[in-house]
Each structure stands twice: as structure tokens, then as C-alpha cells.
Amino acid sequence: MTNRRAQQGVTMLVVMVLLSVMLLGALALARITEVGSLASGNSTFRGTALQASDIGLNTAFTQIRAIAAANENTNVAGWYWSQVQAEDAYGLPAIDWTAAPEIVVGAYSVRYVAERVCTLAAVTDPLRECLVKQIKVAGSAVDTDDKLDPPNSKQFRVTVRVTGPKDTTTFTQSLLTKG
């Protein structure tokens, strides 16, 4: 008969420690994967909101083109102002967004507003009171300096707000030219 040494359970202790370390490693890996999935989901929501803002921009452009030149000095309730509105700390118009027209695109709510980029509501001198776009006209062969046409186009600032899933809110601003 062989003399067996008394078992002391050291192997069991080592196995338990190794299993605990492996469990903690697996939990950390799962958390990293979850954070990565959340970040990519948020990025996707913002990207989709930015794409949805194109619909608001295009709709606003169509509405601005429909305003007759004689009516450009008249505000249209909720979405059009004949002069630049006061801005908040982020450079966005300080307005009531619930009054702006809404377009629903899937799970996203698109609202838009437009402002004529002028300092006065009733414009009499567009060169001094508004942001205008002048187009260069090529000079003759003798006179090589480019001349500026008189202002023939007006600038409008369109701000689009898109609200989507998980309270994703995206603002875009664009300058549109009419004329």
C-alpha cells in the first residue's frame, strides 16, 4: 500500500482564482462591446437626422421661391421672417419651434424656419440693409477689371431642426439665394 499525501485543496483554490479572473475579463469585454454598439447607434441616429434635414431644406427652398417679391417684407406665421431674428447662445434663431411646419420622415420630426438676411423688415436699400449676392461680370479686352453686377439676388437663412429616436436633435443651417 502506498502512502498517500493528505490532499490540501490548493488546486481547487487556484482554479477558483483563475475562473474569477476569466469571469471579470469576460464582463469587461461585454461592457466594451455594449459601449461600442451604443456609440455606433448614436452616430447612425445623427447621420439619419442629417439626411432627413435635407427634406426640410428642400421644402423651405420651395416655399421661399413661392413668395412673391412684393410679399418678402411680410412675415408668414411660424416659419418665415423678413429680417433676422434674435439668436440663442448657439447661433440658432430664438423662436417657438412648435409653431414651425412639421414634416414626419419615418421616426424623425423635421421642422424648418427661414429668415431673410436683412436688418430691417421693410427693405428700401438692399445693399445696406441685406446680405446680397453679386455676380462678377467679365470686363472687356481693354478693361480687364471684373465688374460687379447690381445685386440681383437675396440671401435667406434656413434653419432645420430634426428630432428623432432617443431624443436625437440635429440642427442645420444653410444660406439660400433667390433671384
Which sign does the torsion angle of CA 156, 76, 173, 86 carry?
positive
pLDDT of residue 141: 62
| Rounded Cα distance, 172 and 72, in Å | 23
Measure Cα distances from 25 to 14, 31, 35, 39, 80 in Å: 17, 10, 16, 21, 57
pLDDT of residue 120: 81
Number of domains the chain is built from: 1
pLDDT of residue 142: 64
Residue 120 within any structural domain of the chain: yes
Which sign does the torsion angle of CA 41, 42, 47, 49 carry?
positive
| Phi/psi of residue 72, nearest 5 degrees | -70, -20
Residue 1 within any structural domain of the chain: no
Count, residues in the chain: 179
pLDDT of residue 102: 94
| Rounded Cα distance, 47 and 85, in Å | 28
pLDDT of residue 135: 66
Residue 3 within any structural domain of the chain: no
pLDDT of residue 173: 94
Q: Please report, in tens digits, the pLDDT of each residue of the chain (179 residues total).
A: 555 666 667 888 888 899 999 999 888 888 877 777 776 777 788 888 888 999 999 999 999 988 887 788 888 888 999 888 999 998 899 999 999 999 999 899 999 999 988 888 777 777 777 777 766 666 666 655 655 555 567 889 999 999 988 788 899 999 988 87
Cell of 114: 427661414
Tell me which residue range forms the domain holding 68: 10-178
pLDDT of residue 162: 95
Residue 158 within any structural domain of the chain: yes
